[in-house]
Chain A
Amino acid sequence: MSEHWLSIVLFTPLAGMLILLLIPSRRTDLIRIWANIAGIAGFLVSLPLLWRFDKNASGFQMVERHEWIPSLGARYIVGIDGISLLLVMLTTLVGAVAILSSWSAIQEKVKQYYAMFLLQQTGMLGVFMALDFFLFFVFWEVTLVPMYFIIGVWGGPRKLYAAIKFFLYTLAGSVLMLLGILTLYFQHFQQFGFYTFEIAELMKLDLPLSLQRWVFWAFFIGFAIKVPMFPFHTWLPDAHVEAPTAGSVILASILLKMGTYGFIRFSLPLLPKAAMDPAIVKALVVLSLIAIIYGALVSLMQQDWKKLVAYSSVSHLGFCTLGIFALNPNGLAGSVIQQINHGISTGMLFLIVGIAYERRHTREIAEYGGLAHVMPKYATVFAFAMLSSAGLPLLNGFIGEFTILQGAFEANRIWAAFAATGVILGAAYLLWLYQRTMLGQITNPKNLRLPDLNWRELATFLPLIAWAIWIGVYPKPYFEVLEKPVTEIVQRVRPEYFRQAPVMASAPLEVLR
């Protein structure tokens, strides 16, 4: 039992989906109840990972391996380290929250909807757990199809366009990534005489810089489209605006993290020379900085509530990629924490937009104003989400952004200066949004009788708010969990780093510990 724990976590949603398929389509209440049970069960079975996980152990834990396709060298290998642990927990929690949030929003084709959602959960969990490149790729692609349907079937007026754009963009990126994977796979055969997709084996490869560069760019296209980094971000606003609320939540909170996770898990450790190549680092940092500032500026200009949040994702993910390519422990640890933070805060922001939309069927910011008078609970929750996203100290966003900035500062002061501008702009568009929608007098009579949050809606926010406060007040466990994997990655990419600056390295964010 215990050695299969990760597989249990991985396949619980899929099992839930298979049982769901047996319920007749017209029993919508039963379907809803069962989907929520499956979602919560998915979260509950992932909880034991927390105490089974040993933060002092290096490498991967709870590894499970089976032969799968011997003639290709593909195995079923799952395992987690601190980085995956956090992302897995984020996936199971946000997944359960998103399923709960769909209770009244989805009225058509209910069964298909929840089936797609649960399938999506398994796909995403697989991406974060797979330690075999073939398995990883299978899960990576599996996530595409359910999201296509979630956007395309239950989305807004331009859903068809948004859904196929999302699919085509990501698919085009991932087939190029597949070629990169195959190149490593073949190189491994040439150097060691056998074919394997196991990450640990592929790490033993010694490749010349020129080849690493090519593979790096192939991976880059796959991951950067997913993140999305500037200039590959154009699918994101469309997908977010058209997707149903829960779809947006999953998309922002988890799917995008697959891209950043890919950079951390594969691009850096497998291609250390390319990742250290000054030209590549510079290019990626510049793209990240553009994303941070451009995303924030575009957010400032939005008239559409949901689009604003969508563009804010571009900006926040810019921080995550900046942290990764600062290539030091602070930057990387900050990046992972910021990924979790973004999952929590942006997830909440999308839920908030969704609740307003469900009541008023418009997302125009100008249609709202003064909602705090009629919906006090809603306004409070929104305040939490907004402040956590803006990076207010004692909430989660601050920890992530601060650590990333520290890492960027250590690498290059100018980067940090630009990124800091992004923090200020972020506070600006979020506060302005809050002001325009929540504060002041109610100008639009349609808003006078809006009902406040009900129990179910409140329940979707509470776990996320609790988590945000936990990270903000007591981030120590997170840094502890991340210390080993982050050190290992930096050690691999920059072996000389710890010899030069042992003090800086061993003490990320000492103040907060």
Chain B
Amino acid sequence: MLSQSCIERILAAALSRGGDFSEVFIEHSKTTSVALVNGVVESTGSSLDMGIGIRILEGDKCVYVYSNDLYHEDKLIRMAQNASASLSDAPCGKTIYLEPVVEYFSGKPENSLISVSKKLQVEKLRKAGETAKEYSPLITQTSASCAGSEKEIWIANSDGLYVKDNRCRIRASIAAIASSEEDKQQGSFAPGSSEGFEFFERLDLDELARKSAKIAVTMIDAKPCPSGKMPVVIGNGFGGVIFHEACGHALEATSVGIKSSCFTDMLGKQIASPIVSAFDDARIEKEWGSYAVDDEGTPSTTNLLIKDGILNSYLIDKIGSRRMNMPSTGCARRQNYSFAPTSRMSNTFIANGESDPESIIADTEYGIYAASMGGGSVDTSTGEFNFAVNEAYMIRDGKICEPVKGATLIGKGGEVLMNIDRVGNDLKLAQGVCGSVSGGVPVDVGQPTIRVSEITVGGQA
């Protein structure tokens, strides 16, 4: 690790020719993974990643340089000086003294996954694969995996901030594939947490294996989904990806700060149905998308984004804060040192409402029940989003009927939020990895069961 005085010299070198703020991000991480296909250990990996990112700001201009050579101070100083070559020739003359380091623990494993023998993971993964296979003769393939990381990061900046954070994450996955002559359908779950091996030990992977198999077997019999505009009831948990795509991304300072978002200048205005409130909460203990301190060293927050349909807050990082004249909400994140941080989501969800999930279905004459969602994407300028439905059923006369496959939901974020006409009371979170400008970061999406009065469903029928 670089010494405090060395970091101070790098921060000073970065400001030697201009700029008003410099920052150093150092990362040291270990990752491990093991994956089984059809009960056989097919791949394993271990890696060690480390590097440094140096950022300089001049107003809202950002210079970012990174490298994974942490051994040559002279090289790092030169890198910082070269970075400042693109800045105006007006050094701010700041003297840099770092405060004593403040240490955070976003995650503290009780039992380190990195140190635990992979053999301990293999047996449980193998058993889960067998459980899925035994569920039905239609299940032809299974896969199961466990992967995790332990990271130490250090953030220091020219304002004197110096923090260290310790992070750990673990994620397991199970998938089952059902086959017919012409078709193959998959059911899968991939729970994760900011913990160590203890999470894996506690996890009821067999139950998830059975559920995966059930989805695959159900969907293999499904008919093609009808097309057109219709009411859609979206199940809890990963259904929250609708909010993540349709709204969350467009609330990030990355697009709001340059006024390209469809939600620019909408604070205090109604952007969703009055029964909708939504949070981005990085402070839920041990949750997959949580962190104690963000990648700029700002402590994380519980951010109420939408209150009763009214836009209450954006997701703001340091550059966003300069562009928007609003304080940071502690949401600057990056995949690793090779990305400059930017405003990102953490655990983002629609809060509980008042309806019973059963009553939402019972009140729906005709439509689709999207029980579990796949991924999607959004254009934050136009608000246009799309996402895939992995498990869907027709709703007729208030009852869940036959399964349908191949459905995609499309629409505009603003419209779909206004069209939410029921919010259930069964809030659940689900884990995923969100990809955007600063790389892939672990996030939770979530919601209770909701109904959208009208949305375009794309299917083959």
- Chain A bound to chain B: no
Binding site for A on B (CB under 8 A): none
Q: Which residues of A are at the interface with B, using a C-beta cutoff of 8 A?
A: none
